Structure 1
Amino acid sequence: MILRSETPADTSLVRSLTDAAFNGAAHSSQTEGAIVAALRQAGALTISLVVEQDDTIIGHVAFSPVLIDGEDLGWFGLGPVSVSPSLQRGGIGIALIEEGLRLLKHRGAAGCVVLGDPNYYRRFGFTSDHALRYGDVPPEYFQSMILLGDPAKGEVTYHEGFEAR
C-alpha cells in the first residue's frame, strides 16, 4: 500500500470510492462525493490524501479550512474519510487520518475539528471538551484537537462546499 497526496489523475477514482464508501451508511447524507468535488473545485482541499494498492485507490481523506465565529483562525475540518467498503475496519482510515494530522501540524495549523463518532476519533486525540459549537449538533459528536496555541471558542462554519448535493 502507498499513502500519498492526491493527484489530478485520482479525481474520478476518489469520487467513485467516496460514493461507494458511504453508500447506504445510516449517518450519511449520500453527498460526501459531491462535497469532496466541491472542495476540490473551490481550491479548499488543504490536504487530500489517498491510499493506493495495486494501482487502485482504496482510501481517501480530506482536510479543509473552517471558520470560527466567521474568522480564519488557522483551524481545519477533517472529513470526509473514505475507505473501500470491503477494506473498512482494517486500519486504512487510521493511517490516512494520522498522516493528515501530522501534515496539519507541520503546516502550523492551530487545530482541527471533526463531526463523528467520539469513540472512533478519541484515539487520535479529539475531545468534546471545548468551547467550539457546530449548529445544534450534540457536543459529544462535534470534537476538536488543539494543534498549536490556545483553545478556540465559538461557532464553527465549514466551507460552503459542504452544502454540495
Structure 2
Amino acid sequence: MITLRAEMPADIDRIREVTTAAFEGVEHSSGTEAAIIDALRTAGELTLSLVALDNGEIIGHVAFSPITIESGAEEWFGLGPVSVRPDRQGQGIGRQLITSGLAQLKTQGANGCVVLGDPRYYARFGFTNDLALRYADVPAEYFQRIVFKGASPAGAVAYHTGFDAA
C-alpha cells in the first residue's frame, strides 16, 4: 500500500537516491534533478516536497517551488522534479504524488502551477499550454499551466536559481 507524506529531514539522502535513479539515462534529463531539489531546499524555496512510501520505504518524490511571472502574478508554482524509483514506474505512483501535491497547493491558496514536460502525460491533471505564458526557448506545447483561481497570467516565467544547480 502506497502512502504519501511531506518529506522529513531523515528522507533527504533517500530522495536524492530515488531522484538520481529515476532520471539516469533519460533522454531529456540534465542529470541535475537531485541537485535542484537540494538547492531549492537549502534556499528555503521547496514549497511542497512529498514522498511516496511502500512499507516505509521511499519510492517516489515530487517537488513544487515558487516561480516568477513577468506580469507580476503571484502565488504560482512550478511542479518538478517528480521521480519514481525505476522498478516502480508505470504503477501510478507519480500520478498520486502529482495529484496530491496539486490539491495541497490549491488548498494553501495557490493561483496555479506550471510544468515543463510531456503534454500527453500532464493533460490528465488538467495542464494545458497557453501561448501567453512562456518559458525560455522551450516549444510551447511542452510548457503548460493549470489555473486554480483567477485569470491565467501572461509573460515569461522564471524558476528559482536552484534550477541552475549542477
Tell me which residue corresponds to 1:103. 104
Tell me which residue corresponds to 2:86. 85
Deviation for aligned residue 1:130: 4.3
Deviation for aligned residue 1:78: 0.2
Instruction: Point out where structure 1 has 5 or more consecutive residues left out of the alignment.
Output: none
Tell me which residue corresponds to 1:4. 5
Deviations 1:54-93 (A, max 9, x none): 2210000000000001746110000000000001011000
Q: What is the number of residues matched between the two proteins?
A: 165
- Root-mean-square deviation over aligned CA pairs: 1.0
Q: Could you tell me whether the CA contact under 8 Å between 1:49 and 1:61 is conserved in 2?
A: yes
Deviations 1:90-131 (A, max 9, x none): 100000000000001001101100000000000000001341
C-alpha distance in 1 between matches for 2:157 and 2:129: 14
1:150 aligns with 2:162: no
Tell me which residue corresponds to 1:159. 160
Instruction: Point out where structure 2 has 5 or more consecutive residues left out of the alignment.
Output: none
Helix, strand or coil at the partner of 2:22: helix
Helix, strand or coil at the partner of 2:129: coil
Q: Could you tell me whether the CA contact under 8 Å between 2:71 and 2:153 is conserved in 1?
A: no
TM-score (norm 1): 0.97
Tell me which residue corresponds to 2:23. 22
Runs of 4+ in 1 over 2 A off after TM superposition: none
C-alpha distance in 1 between matches for 2:58 and 2:131: 35
